[in-house]
Structure 1
Amino acid sequence: MKRIFLFIITNIAVLAVVRVILALFGLDGHSGSALATAAVIGFSGSIVSLLMSKMLAKQSVGAEVITQPHNEAEAWLLETVAAQAKQWNLKTPEVAIYHSPELNAFATGATKNSSLVAVSTGLLKGMTRDEVEAVLAHEMAHIGNGDMVTLTLIQGVVNTFVIYFARLVAGVVAQGRDGESSSGVYFLVSMVLQVLFGFLASFIVMWFSRQREYRADAGAAKLVGAPKMIAALQRLKNGSGGLPKQMDAMGIGGNERDSLLSTHPSLDNRIARLKGL
């Protein structure tokens, strides 16, 4: 909670500095209110998505939360997640299973103590207990590090500046020689620039997403040992995926190679990073 608070304060400070700069250049009137509007729009979508993330994730994959274990495997799953949550000093997340042949798992939730860890039936069948334990530790590291909230806040900041600068440039372009502004030109230019700036800004978000995967791998290695996490990642090279596209960033799987627009580093690079710990 302290880290989230500091992150929010930092970004409020960033917005305040931008407003001061605008004031120094005599642009604090309209531009100041435009920045505030952009911040409201930019953060609203991200925060709403975060608040609804657990419910939407369950619905997207048909995850079934384990309230009462029906077999030894489900009992082991609950006990393992509970033990790992205790090591992070967190409330035990909801634990769910969803039907998919692919090897995958994900964690989501609006807060550290209101989270969900879900694993596929393919992962439970295709991995050893040690490897599943490592995957669960990776997901618990995401929760313990507050990655879902932090990524949401970063997306909100990025959205804010994408909207603000798109509208700022559109206002200049739409201004005619007679001083009159064309609303049609403004709208068209603003939409095009939001798409363009949004694409460029996604490099920042994806970079952070890849870094959080390295951190979660390291957190898992600290919890269960690097050999188990390495073995799990090597097993994932046999085939991971199966999540809806909008949930790719939440999964454990990786890519064949690194890309500026990848949510995950390549599995080979993740394995190499762990071997170097």
Structure 2
Amino acid sequence: MRTAFLMTALTVLLVLVGDYFGGARGMMMMLIISLAMNLFSYWNSDKLVLAQYNAKQVDEKSAPALYKMVQRLAERGNLPMPKVYIIDSPVPNAFATGRNPEHAAVAVTTALANALDKDEIEGVLAHELSHVKHGDILIGTIAASMAGIITTLSHWGMFFGGGDRDRNSSSSAIVGLAMMILAPLAAGIIQMAVSRSREYMADKSGGELSSNPDALADALLKIESYAKNRTMPGATENTAHMFIICPFSAKDMQQLFSTHPSTADRVARLRAQAKAMRSSGGAK
């Protein structure tokens, strides 16, 4: 319900910005472009992001431990077996991609195996498979696409004015300036809210799938301890929301606009979940 509300808010914001800067014609044009971009993202986002990070597909022969772990969790979660990829990177991290469970992929970095123990890796994989199960990658891609369109349209308005609006009106100029500044900010905040709500859900579902929320909490702390000191090579803003921990270091400006909730808050929730599961006999 929360995600549906936020996605609706993004759509309404897109319509309002399009109407202001381009009038009815501009609004319709941007809606068409938005639809086209979302359709392209639906069919190609997984291929693009895997290629961007030079991810290599592995199988049961080339990475038996990792592959079998994913296979076991997928079976437990009643999911089709996703493709498994490894990214050669000195920073531990992971993400899932794919338009639906039947066309999904899970990618982990080479550093993940060295930084985490078996239970922690399983927790990370369970988190990523939860994203697959709930369709989070598609939602995140659409939210990012719409936020990008709103920002671009606002920048266009800065150069071309407010479409059919009276450019000589001082009040119109003030409204236009406010729209140029606030619309991209609002779009970014809504996008962050979408991504953060899905991260909490994936943490909870991942803890249930692995039956070990504590291991996932420990994994998040370890991954963050590496990530905060070093930005993952090749990391970009448009893919940052896909990773289990923001791939930008604490020194990067991108961290100020992180789509991830605070790790401390996520860990606290997972610890509480583990305690509740132990009380009911459901946790390891």
* Length-normalised TM-score, structure 2: 0.72
Match of 2:101 in 1: 112
Aligned: 1:267 with 2:263 = yes
Return the match for 1:69 from 30, 54, 61.
Answer: 61
Structure showing greater radius of gyration is 1
How far residue 43 of structure 1 moved from its aligned partner, in angstroms, is 3.0
Return the match for 1:244 from 220, 235, 241.
Answer: 235
Stretch moving more, 242-251 or 138-147: 242-251
| Aligned pairs, number | 244
Aligned: 1:94 with 2:86 = no
Return the match for 1:57 from 49, 61, 82.
Answer: 49
Return closer, same or farther for 1:48/1:194 CA change in 2, 3 Å cut-off.
Answer: farther
Instruction: State the distance in 1 between where 2:35 and 2:256 align.
Output: 24
Amino acid in structure 1 at the alignment position of 2:39: I
Return closer, same or farther for 1:160/1:35 CA change in 2, 3 Å cut-off.
Answer: farther
Instruction: State the distance in 1 between where 2:144 and 2:86 align.
Output: 28
Extract unaligned runs of 5+ from structure 2: 274-284
Residues 123 and 216, structure 2, Cα contact 8 Å, conserved in 1: yes
Return the match for 2:222 from 235, 243, 248.
Answer: 235
Extract unaligned runs of 5+ from structure 1: 20-26, 178-184
- Give SS of 1:118's match: strand
How far residue 262 of structure 1 moved from its aligned partner, in angstroms, is 1.4
Instruction: State the distance in 1 between where 2:203 and 2:179 align.
Output: 36
Amino acid in structure 2 at the alignment position of 1:119: V
Match of 1:133 in 2: 122
Residues 63 and 98, structure 1, Cα contact 8 Å, conserved in 2: yes
Identical aligned residues as a percent = 27
Instruction: State the distance in 2 between where 1:68 and 1:155 align.
Output: 34
Residues 42 and 159, structure 1, Cα contact 8 Å, conserved in 2: no
Q: How does 1:216-235 map to 2 (within 5 A)?
A: 216-224=202-210, 225-235=212-222
Residues 35 and 160, structure 1, Cα contact 8 Å, conserved in 2: no
How far residue 117 of structure 1 moved from its aligned partner, in angstroms, is 0.5
Q: How does 1:163-242 map to 2 (within 5 A)?
A: 163=153, 170-173=162-165, 175=167, 197-224=183-210, 225-240=212-227, 241-242=231-232
Amino acid in structure 1 at the alignment position of 2:203: D
